[in-house]
Amino acid sequence: MPPAFPFPGPGCPPGLRSPTRAPSLTRDLDPYAPHLGHGCPAGTANLTMRQDAQKCSDPVPKVLAMPNSISETLRRTDLLLREAYDHLGFVEGPDDAFQTGNLPHVSPLAYLCTRYPGLDDQGLLAAEEEAGGYVPEPYRALLSHMNGARILGISLLGATGGLLHRSVQGIGQPISLRYSNVVERPAYIPAGSLGIGAINGPSYSQGHLYLASTGEVELYNAALDRVGARWASLAIFLAEEIPRRMAFHDDRGHRLAGAKLLPGDTEDWEDLAKAARQQDEPRGLLARLGGLLRRR
C-alpha cells in the first residue's frame, strides 16, 4: 500500500492513519467499460446514490465490468475499497490485511470493510476441514487472497482454527466456513454447493450465499428454500454487488435511507422473517417459563 502519515488524519481516532496517496482506480488500473447497475434505467452506467438511495446519480467505478479472473477481481476490489474509504480512517495488518472506513458514529472500532490476511497451503487444508469437504477453486483463490472478509454488509467465511496470530489486534477473524456447511446447513441446499457467506437485511431478514457446483453464486433465503439472486461466477458477484453497496453510504459513512440491502427478488423477505419471528416469540416465552418451573 502507499505510505501513510504516522499520525491520525482528520476524523480518525487515535491509532488510525490517513493516506498520503490512496490507490487510484483511474491512475493505477486500466479503465473499464460502464456497466448497468441494479435498479438503474437501461442505457445508464452503474451509479451511486447520494441524496436518496432510490435515485441514480454520480457514476461509481466498477470493480471489473467483465471479470477475467477471481484473482484480478480481488486485487481491484482491494484498490476500490481503499480509494473509497481510507479517508474515513484505516488500519493495516500483516499479509495485506486491512480495515477501512472507520465509523465512529457507530463505534470507535467499527469499519465499513474488514479484509483478513490470506491463507497459505496449510491454511487452505484447514479451510477444507472446517467446510467439511472440498473447497472449489474460485473460493480457494479467494481464501489465498483473503481469509474471508466483511465488506459493506457482506460477510465472507474463512478458516479460524489456530489463526489468531495472523491478524492485527482489533481486526480479529472471519466467521468459520463450518457454520454454513456443517453447523447450520439446510437439507434443501444441493450437495455440491459450498456455503461462503451471508448478507443481512434491514432488521429480521438474511440471505445465505452458496457457491454452486456450476460456479454460480446463489443467494438463498436464510429460512426458506428460495433463491433471491444468482450470479454467473464468484468474480461477477464481487464485481457487481460491491459497487452496488457502495451507493448505500454518504461521504462520512452514514447509511442512506432506502438502500436495498438484499439484492435480487427479495422484496418480501423482511416481512416473511418478521412474521416468523413474531410467531416464534410466544413459543420461546413458554419454553423459558417451562424451564423456570422445572427448576423449582
Q: 85 with 100: CB under 8 angstroms? A: yes
Residue 17 DSSP SS3: strand
Looking at residue 164, its pLDDT comes to: 43
**Residues 151 and 73: beta-carbon distance below 8 Å:** no
Site of grid cell 482491494 = 78
Q: Is the pLDDT of residue 206 over 90?
A: yes
Q: What is the mean pLDDT of residues 199-213?
A: 97
How far apart are alpha carbons 99 and 259 in whole angstroms?
Answer: 23
Length of the chain: 296
- Sign of the CA dihedral running 106, 200, 279, 286: negative
Who's near 57: CB < 8 A, 6+ residues apart?
47, 48, 49, 50, 51
Q: Which CATH architecture fits 25-268?
A: 3-Layer(aba) Sandwich (3.40)
Q: Which residue has the cell 491454511?
A: 123
| Closest alpha carbon to 196 in 212, 210, 182, 178 | 210
Specify whether the CB–CB gap between 137 and 128 falls below 8 A. Answer: no
Look at residue 54 in the predicted model and tell me its pLDDT.
Answer: 35
Q: What is the pLDDT of residue 96?
A: 92
Residue 27 and residue 292: Cα distance in Å, rounded? 65
Question: In 3D, which of 263, 214, 65, 233 has the Cα closest to residue 141?
Answer: 233
Residue 76 Rama label (left phi>0; alpha psi -120 to 50; beta): alpha
25-47 CB burial, b ≥16 within 10 A, e <16: beeebeebeebebeebeeeebbb
Closest CA to 247 of 57, 32, 24: 57
The pTM score is: 0.75
Residues 42-74: pLDDT tens digits? 333 333 333 333 333 334 455 444 566 899 999
- Per-residue pLDDT tens over the stretch 66-112: 566 899 999 999 999 999 999 999 999 988 999 999 999 999 999 99
pLDDT, greater one: 268 or 53:
268
Greatest Cα pair distance, the chain, in angstroms, is 71
Residue 69: per-residue pLDDT:
87
Residue 130 phi/psi, 5° resolution?
-70, -35
